[in-house]
Amino acid sequence: MIVELKKNATRDQIDLLENWLRDKGIRVTETQGEENVVLGLVGKAAKSIDEKMIESLEIVETTKSVKEPFKRANRKFHPEDSVIDINGVKIGGGNFAVIAGPCSVESPEQITEVAKAVQASGATLLRGGAFKPRTSPYDFQGMKAEGLELLELAKAETGMPLVTEIMNAAHLPLFENVEVLQVGARNMQNFELLKAVGRTNKTVLLKRGLANTLKELLMSAEYIMSEGNPNVILCERGIRTFETHTRNTLDLSAVPALKELSHLPVVIDPSHATGIARMVEPMAMAAAAAGADGLMIEVHNDPAHALCDGPQSLTPAQFDRVMKRVNLIREAMNADI
């Protein structure tokens, strides 16, 4: 249930109501809206509360029941866009952030060279896989703990916060110096992993599964948020369809759909969505035009020799061009009309 409070509700009155609800076993979230405070009531106990009685309280403007099974991720719970601050890099609510870097960390030279190049072009977050989910067990599985150390090296040189995939909750201690935990497409419904990252205070980049609906993606976000971590970024990275020309099919309509349903930032990954480097630019521009809050793009200093996902990786020069063109789209989006 959503409880919209009156504009003139005082802090003491709000605290009194919240404590009373919590004593009944209800989990309460508070959001400061543009003009008034909105409370979100979740948990089994919230179902038994008398909506009419809540509505009759002096400080309550109105109540609404939320039919969707995702509550904390729901825009009804949090009418404003969520803005996530990652060590000073903001995403959401008009803040556009670009995550760039290689598919996999391969060497100190590779990751620092790519980090410096993408930063010079305007990327604000550095990606690089250390633990890689590969279809074949015989393919390069990532540099693992050593890869994380190399990412830290690149962060020390550039100051860029890190985004890297976690596949196993037991690895969490290794990710201490990582700012954004990526939950990859293949793990979108690994509920134990979702709960574990939900118990951390790190931002989570949650990628949509290859064959998952938007509602399922939001339910996975809910798993993370219900553990107390509100910092979730949703990522559309293409889904499986009958089309085989591209690696996946980019569902761009996910951007307006997710932003309608949820307050969480939405980013597009045109690299995994298409699997083809020359298609990254048009899809990145289209994502910006569709209202995405950011992009995740794979960039490699030598794509032809990349240990993973070379065909979809941009060179730093290609990435620089994409950034310039995306910025033009962003300017057009911000124009007053």
From ligand PEP, Mn ion, none, interface partner of 185 (C-beta below 5 to 8 A by class): ligand PEP
H helices present in the chain, as ranges: 11-23, 44-47, 51-55, 108-120, 144-158, 191-198, 214-226, 254-261, 270-274, 277-290, 316-334
CA atoms within 13 A on the CB side of 55: 8
Binding of ligand PEP by 237 (CB under 6 A): yes
Give yes or no for residue 184 binding ligand PEP (CB under 6 A): yes
Cα 71 from chain centre:
17
Owner of token pair 């890689």: 132
What the block records as the tokens of 233 is 């970024």
Task: Give the interface size with Mn ion as a residue count (CB under 5 A).
Answer: 2
* Cα dihedral sign, 298-303-306-309: positive
Compute how many other C-beta atoms are within 10 angstroms of the C-beta atom of residue 128: 28
Shortest Å, Cβ 103 to ligand PEP: 5
- Which amino acid, one-letter code, is at 30? E
309 binds Mn ion (CB under 5 A): yes
Q: Is 103 in the site for ligand PEP (CB under 6 A)?
A: yes
Nearest CB to Mn ion, comparing residues 164 and 231: 164
Which residue number has the CB closest to ligand PEP?
184
User: By CB under 6 A, is residue 207 in contact with ligand PEP?
Assistant: yes
The amino acid present at 170, given as its one-letter code, is A
The pairing of strands 60-64 and 2-5 is antiparallel
Q: Which range in 16-24, 151-159, 179-187, 329-337 contacts ligand PEP by CB under 6 A? A: 179-187
Comparing CB distances to ligand PEP, the nearer of 40 and 129 is 129
Q: Distance (Å, rounded) from C-alpha 267 to C-alpha 257?
A: 13
**With left for phi above 0 and alpha for psi between -120 and 50, is residue 314 left, alpha or beta?**
beta
Residues in 238-257 at the binding interface with ligand PEP, rule: CB under 6 A: none
Query: Of these partners, ligand PEP, Mn ion, none, which one is at the site of residue 294 (CB under 5 to 8 Å by kind)?
Result: none
* Site residues (CB under 6 A) for ligand PEP, limited to 130-149: 133
- Determine the size of the site formed for ligand PEP (CB under 6 A): 10
Give residues 14-43 in contact with Mn ion (rule: CB under 5 A): none
Please report, as ranges, the residues that interact with ligand PEP according to CB under 6 A.
Answer: 103, 129, 133, 165, 184-186, 207, 237, 272
Residues lying near Mn ion in the complex (CB under 5 A) are found at 103, 309
